[in-house]
Structure 1
Amino acid sequence: MDLILWKRVLGGVFHILNNNPCHLEMCVDSWPTFSAAICYRQKQCFSSSSSSGLMPDICTVFTKNQTTLRSLLLNERVVRWRDGLIFRGLDITEYGGYNTFIHHSLGSMDRKALLLLVSFLHESHAELVDAHLPYGGSRESLNHVRACIRHLPNHCVTDEEGRPVSWMLSDELCELRMAYTLPEYRRAGHLLALSEAMIRRMSSVRLPIYCHVNRQNQATLNAVTSLGFSACPGMENISVLLICKDKV
């Protein structure tokens, strides 16, 4: 359980060390040893309307001590309690119907690369990706997709005219997300090819690799297992300590 929470924070740390394209900051309760860490969006990103819409305001935490976590969350110099603040990785309501999978090693993949031409998404494809998200359709979600395409690892398979028919993205915490294949192109191994490409690309720069899969989607559960992902047990028991301060 601690491993996947640390993977989320670690994903943010890797992006901070690599030019910080997602404008993240880190805070820990003590140094060099610590029991709680918070990764969140830099405050200056929300000082003007021109920048605030680029990516959603997120906050992801790792803790072994709820007392120190509580202190960090109550410190307004660390977490600014704004409308729209999204806690990632701990909310049981978000991931209660999903299993968490972590990829550890390229050597654990038991499939050979499929003979599909894998390429990259362009920002002009953001509307297509957003249109097939269950939570898409808003300006905020479209801007988030566009920013993920611009800054973070992604891959797609295109048709003869260069239009994406299958794609997979990663987000600011390194989670593999937003994977989708157009119905008429399914059962051709597109997502397996994209998964292999994403795993190899992210492994090459030592990024953590993990994803969430709906428990009812047995085909995808089988696929991620064949690619070397292993289930992280106990995630269904995770809850988060949310301290909502009274608004003035």
Structure 2
Amino acid sequence: MKVLNKDELQIAEGVLLKHLPKSLKVYGFLYGINRNKPSTLEVIVDTWPDFKVIICRPDPKNKRALEFMKKVTYYSMDQQILRKMLTEENAIDWSTYFLMAGFDISHAPMLKEVSSDSEVNSRVYTLVHLLYLPDSSHLLTPAIDSELESRISSLNHSHVDLVNKTWKFGGNEWGYRIIKNLISNFPSCCIIDGQGQPVSWILVYDYCAMGMLYTLPEHRGKGYAKVLVSTLAKRLHAEGYPVYCFIEEENVVSYRLFKNLGFIEDPSYRAAWFEFNF
């Protein structure tokens, strides 16, 4: 097992590029880290340079890691090597609460078995579709009139409270810190009203996925979500970011929205978030 250094992270990003879309979540983390976005993660592999498993985990040497929810993300090309890393090589700390985020759902039985053997409880946090846009030619752009176009902007620090209050997983101090970090360091897009306040918005997570899409109830039904997704997708493509999102299984409205804009899905792949030690 090896912790990757700065140069090795660049190489690993190139390797993961060949395994899209299934590697997108880890690829997104590495994309951000390699472009000097703030991170509290360290990245480990089973062997180097020909790795089969790559894991992003909280960096024990980073004091800021304690300010954020403990999350572990991985991409695996070999389930047996992954199992060995989780059971014999202390790849993750089973002693505290953490989320295992965006992993291949086919690994769920193995993860449940490994955690049970470690006497750690686990449960499904959410199941999701992975939708992505291979290139901008797939994007179906809605018509935008000049009045609406003039109201498209980016979020700033004064909007953190509003986004936190409306985020399904926010509404607390932990959510506030996450959103402040995202608005400060990653692209965002919003539509503002006559007073310059956001009425609809979308952010980019630290693993470079689009998310937190939300429109205030009194402003729905005007096509704002379509405009924001297509505007941000074009911007991300232009800047070299991967363009993708995770949509929770029960969120049929968002799933249809992204599909209708040209995002595609690998039908053989589903992702999940699990909680451990809850």
TM-score band, normalised by the shorter chain? Answer: 0.7 to 0.9
Matched-pair contact (CA < 8 Å) for 2:131–2:244: yes
The percent identity for this pair of structures is 27
Matched-pair contact (CA < 8 Å) for 1:16–1:25: no
The 5 A counterparts of 1:16-165 are: 16-45=33-62, 47=63, 51-52=64-65, 54-74=67-87, 75-76=89-90, 78-81=91-94, 83-90=96-103, 93-96=124-127, 98-112=128-142, 114-115=144-145, 116=148, 117-165=151-199
Structure 1 CA distance, aligned partners of 2:185 and 2:73? 19
For residues 4-50 of structure 1, the C-alpha deviation after alignment (integer angstroms, 9 at most, x for no partner) is: 440000001101110132233221112222211112232222x3xxx
Structure 2 CA distance, aligned partners of 1:12 and 1:142? 20
Deviation at 1:167, TM superposition (A): 0.7
Deviation at 1:235, TM superposition (A): 3.6
Structure 2 CA distance, aligned partners of 1:72 and 1:153? 34
What amino acid does structure 1 have at the position aligned with 2:208?
C
Matched-pair contact (CA < 8 Å) for 1:105–1:228: no
Q: Secondary structure at the match of 1:33?
A: coil
Deviation at 1:239, TM superposition (A): 6.9
Deviation at 1:72, TM superposition (A): 2.9
**114 and 72 in structure 1: CA distance in 2 versus 1, 3 angstrom threshold:** farther
Matched-pair contact (CA < 8 Å) for 2:190–2:228: yes
**114 and 240 in structure 1: CA distance in 2 versus 1, 3 angstrom threshold:** closer
Structure 1 CA distance, aligned partners of 2:65 and 2:164? 19
Matched-pair contact (CA < 8 Å) for 1:158–1:165: yes
Equivalent residue, structure 2, for 1:190 = 224
Equivalent residue, structure 2, for 1:232 = 266
Structure 2 CA distance, aligned partners of 1:241 and 1:132? 23
Where does the alignment leave 5 or more consecutive residues of structure 2 unmatched? 1-18, 106-123
Deviation at 1:126, TM superposition (A): 1.3
Matched-pair contact (CA < 8 Å) for 1:176–1:210: yes
Structure 2 CA distance, aligned partners of 1:30 and 1:102? 29
The 5 A counterparts of 1:216-227 are: 216-227=250-261
Structure 2 CA distance, aligned partners of 1:101 and 1:166? 21
Structure 2 CA distance, aligned partners of 1:137 and 1:54? 16
For residues 77-124 of structure 1, the C-alpha deviation after alignment (integer angstroms, 9 at most, x for no partner) is: x4344533221102852343x422111110111224523322111122
Structure 2 CA distance, aligned partners of 1:195 and 1:156? 10
Matched-pair contact (CA < 8 Å) for 2:189–2:201: yes
Structure 2 CA distance, aligned partners of 1:122 and 1:53? 24
Matched-pair contact (CA < 8 Å) for 1:35–1:64: yes
**146 and 111 in structure 1: CA distance in 2 versus 1, 3 angstrom threshold:** same
**43 and 197 in structure 1: CA distance in 2 versus 1, 3 angstrom threshold:** farther
Deviation at 1:213, TM superposition (A): 2.6
TM-score normalised by L of structure 1: 0.83
Aligned length: 236
Where does the alignment leave 5 or more consecutive residues of structure 1 unmatched? none
Root mean square deviation of aligned Cα: 2.6
Matched-pair contact (CA < 8 Å) for 1:73–1:243: no
Q: Give every structure 1 segment of 4 or more consecutive aligned residues whose post-TM-superposition deviation is greater than 6 Å.
A: 239-244
**242 and 158 in structure 1: CA distance in 2 versus 1, 3 angstrom threshold:** closer
